Structure 1
Amino acid sequence: MSSPGPMKLYASGFNAWNQLVFDEEDIRDEPDDIRSFDVVLEGGDIELPISRLSYTLVTRDSKLLKAGCSTPTDDQELNLARSGAENAQVEVPTTTGGCTAARSGPLLRKLADSEALRTGSTSHSWSWGAYGIKQIVAFDAGWVILYDEGTVATLGDARFEDCLAREVTSKSPAEAPGEVPDLNSLGEPIRIIAAGGYTAAAVTESGSLYAWGMESTGMHRRQQAIPGLSGIPNYVEVDGDKDVEDIAVGESHAIALTTDGSVYVIGGNENGQLGLGIGFNERVGSWTKVNLGVSKNHRVVRVGAGPRSSFILVEIAHVKT
């Protein structure tokens, strides 16, 4: 028999500011990107990281650890990073009183930036009925919201309607939370959501993966994390139709954990965020299995993604004799 034991956090990807380095002895003036999944933190109870472009926050045994530069400096910024979702325009929707707050007044506030948290300035706020918010995730032009009962809503920039996965009308404007009908009519609740760049994804209770989005625009265009997406959430098959346990999305890549404990990656790899090894720089157009090379008593429990990085959280089981 076995019981849960200490954990390991594996990471790969963009590391220009040592944002994947938690040991001070390993900090370098000119660090290289990490192109193969490597253990960056181990021991104790580790939570999935909060990752931005220049820094990473990880809680281990209730202690917050920081890596990189421009990290949050006070409790307000830390709480915002934990409860909100910052998009490319640095606007932040956040819940008041936590994701399961009492239904007294607005539960969702939209802040112009982190400074607005200090001044108490709220650009917009919304309230709703009987359900609270389970999860908020950001893409470059907006946000995806998962409510407690398993329904999904989006809000953001009307110019990127495909990322909203719903029709924008006067009764359902882009700048207010609006339900995603194709997800909410599946007949089963959504369990987890993810987003990054111009791509969003959702996993149902039974493990079906759906994704939607569009190609990025402007001078620095990035390809979609998952190819062939549109404004309609479509079912995405992972390695012969495996059920998905967890999903994470970066600027142009995605990482999935299937229910059999396997990890798959897809998309851009310019900074080694797919973790496929030194010398492998090409974009990957189909789900590719990652070989961590861990022993049988190691179990992958979560996957995560920063804009240009990936994370795998592994639990080590204690074998009872």
Structure 2
Amino acid sequence: MPSVNSTNTALMAEGTAGQAKIPCGVVVTRSCMALFATGFNAWSQLSLGRNPGYDEPDDLFSFTKVLEAQRIERPVAGLSWTLGALRRDGVVCMAGVGLGDVDDYEASHTFAEAANGEILGIQDDNIPVPGEEGGSEAQKVLAKYASRSAIRTENRQRSWRCESPVRTVAAFDAGFVILYQDGTVATLGDARFEDCLGRDITDDSPADEPGIVPDLANLGEPIKHVSAGGYALAALAESGGIYLWGMSPSGAQRRQQPFSTLCGVPNYVEVDDGKDVQDMALGDSHAIALTTDGSVYVIGDNSSGQIGLGKTAREQVQSWTEVSFDAPDGHEIVAVAAGPRSSFILTSPVQA
């Protein structure tokens, strides 16, 4: 995971270990994907497409192009940093504060970090083979660590064999949500936040062990994507329905979720009179969704521009609102993403 430091890192694209740093623009080709960002930018963490210089950066209140490259993966964002993976020659773009070395960048795409500092990710492990002295076989495991430094020292807290391959791990403030390749969803976290786990905590299904979310397992269709932010969690079903669960945060310092019906049961959330959703993401107090007709909808807090509706929309937006967004000529929107106080739109050339 990115190590903490106090230096504002100017944008560079870094290759694999031993390669020189090169400006991100070097990888731009005629058939480019494009990444657009909006939101909190106090550490120039959204300045993926340029060197932010020495001026105090401004928050972005509308979706602004920040990166172009031949191939861009879904960005990973913390409060003060953003990583944009350009899967071409192992290049990774980075901006903001709190970035470490190349290994840290790669870890950020395979690990998730909760607000309490705990980290969960997928790792290779050697499992002993019964009946074979000294024999072992490679096995994917879910590995949990108490902190970033514990990863570097390989001081693993717990691990669980992955009976089904893991597709996604996402973190909320007090735990994690896990999506398996077979479309089932599990949660892991703190028993004090049982509503965030979406399941009953029992001796047979403790909070600190991965446990299946039963209401999602009983939908009759697989889940294809999960996201989390603050104390809210979301699952996107194969048919395009969003299911939300969790709890409203306590304390005056916490930003309120726009979803007033959050509870321990995943409930269907309608977007614009029931449109099917292709992709979605949650921030600390906002959400973004891409519908199958190519429209982008947002909801929640816009105090830092994180839902991209302009500077005049600073209050909580309580209903899904369509974003006025024009993709580049010949492009279509293929994904959305969110950081704690930022949102992203990813576009790609339309396939012939």
The 1:92/1:276 distance shift into structure 2, 3 A limit, reads: same
What is the deviation of 1:44?
A: 1.7
The 1:28/1:213 distance shift into structure 2, 3 A limit, reads: farther
Q: Which of 302, 305, 314 is the matching residue for 2:335?
A: 302
Q: Verify the 8 A CA contact 1:50 1:58 in the aligned structure 2.
A: yes
Q: Which moved more, 1:164-173 or 1:24-33?
A: 24-33
The 1:232/1:50 distance shift into structure 2, 3 A limit, reads: same
2:44 maps to 18
Query: 1:92 aligned to 2:119?
Result: yes
Q: Secondary structure of the residue that 2:109 maps to in structure 1?
A: helix
1:49 maps to 75
What is the deviation of 1:106?
A: 6.2
Query: What amino acid sits opposite 1:93 in the alignment?
Result: L
1:59 maps to 85
2:308 maps to 275
What is the deviation of 1:229?
A: 1.3
Q: Deviations over 1:133-173 (max 9, x none)?
A: 11100000110000110000001011111110000111111
* C-alpha distance in 1 between matches for 2:69 and 2:327: 16
Query: 1:70 aligned to 2:98?
Result: yes
* C-alpha distance in 2 between matches for 1:112 and 1:169: 23
Q: Which moved more, 1:223-232 or 1:241-250?
A: 223-232
Q: Verify the 8 A CA contact 2:187 2:210 in the aligned structure 1.
A: yes
* C-alpha distance in 2 between matches for 1:8 and 1:106: 33
The 1:158/1:103 distance shift into structure 2, 3 A limit, reads: farther
* C-alpha distance in 2 between matches for 1:308 and 1:30: 18
The 1:52/1:163 distance shift into structure 2, 3 A limit, reads: same
Q: Verify the 8 A CA contact 1:109 1:125 in the aligned structure 2.
A: yes
2:110 maps to 83
TM-score normalised per structure 1: 0.92
Query: 1:253 aligned to 2:286?
Result: yes
Q: Verify the 8 A CA contact 2:229 2:283 in the aligned structure 1.
A: yes
Query: What amino acid sits opposite 1:258 in the alignment?
Result: T
Q: Deviations over 1:287-317 (max 9, x none)?
A: 0001113356220000000000000001133
| 1:177-216 map, 5 Å | 177-216=210-249
| Unaligned residue ranges in structure 1 (runs of 5+) | none
Q: Deviations over 1:162-208 (max 9, x none)?
A: 11000011111111101100000111110110111011101111111
The 1:301/1:128 distance shift into structure 2, 3 A limit, reads: closer
Q: Verify the 8 A CA contact 2:39 2:60 in the aligned structure 1.
A: yes
Query: What amino acid sits opposite 1:232 in the alignment?
Result: V
Query: 1:244 aligned to 2:277?
Result: yes
Q: Verify the 8 A CA contact 1:18 1:28 in the aligned structure 2.
A: no
Query: What amino acid sits opposite 1:5 in the alignment?
Result: S
Query: 1:154 aligned to 2:180?
Result: no
2:19 maps to none
What is the deviation of 1:224?
A: 1.4
| 1:159-170 map, 5 Å | 159-170=192-203
The 1:50/1:128 distance shift into structure 2, 3 A limit, reads: closer
State the identity as a percent: 50
TM-score normalised per structure 2: 0.84
Q: Verify the 8 A CA contact 1:11 1:20 in the aligned structure 2.
A: yes
| Unaligned residue ranges in structure 2 (runs of 5+) | 1-29, 126-135
Q: Secondary structure of the residue that 1:79 maps to in structure 2?
A: helix
Q: Which of 111, 114, 131 is the matching residue for 2:145?
A: 111
Answer 1 or 2: higher relative contact order, Cα 8 Å, separation at least 6. Answer: 1
Q: Deviations over 1:27-81 (max 9, x none)?
A: 3431110011110112321111110111001122341011001112241x22321
2:159 maps to 125
The 1:54/1:15 distance shift into structure 2, 3 A limit, reads: same
* C-alpha distance in 1 between matches for 2:302 and 2:245: 20
* C-alpha distance in 2 between matches for 1:141 and 1:298: 38
What is the deviation of 1:279?
A: 2.5
2:14 maps to none
Query: What amino acid sits opposite 1:118 in the alignment?
Result: R
Q: Secondary structure of the residue that 2:108 maps to in structure 1?
A: helix
Q: Secondary structure of the residue that 1:96 maps to in structure 2?
A: strand
> How big is the alpha-carbon RMSD for the aligned residues of Structure 1 and Structure 2?
1.9
Work out which of the two has the higher radius of gyration on C-alpha atoms and give 1 or 2: 2
Query: What amino acid sits opposite 2:57 in the alignment?
Result: P
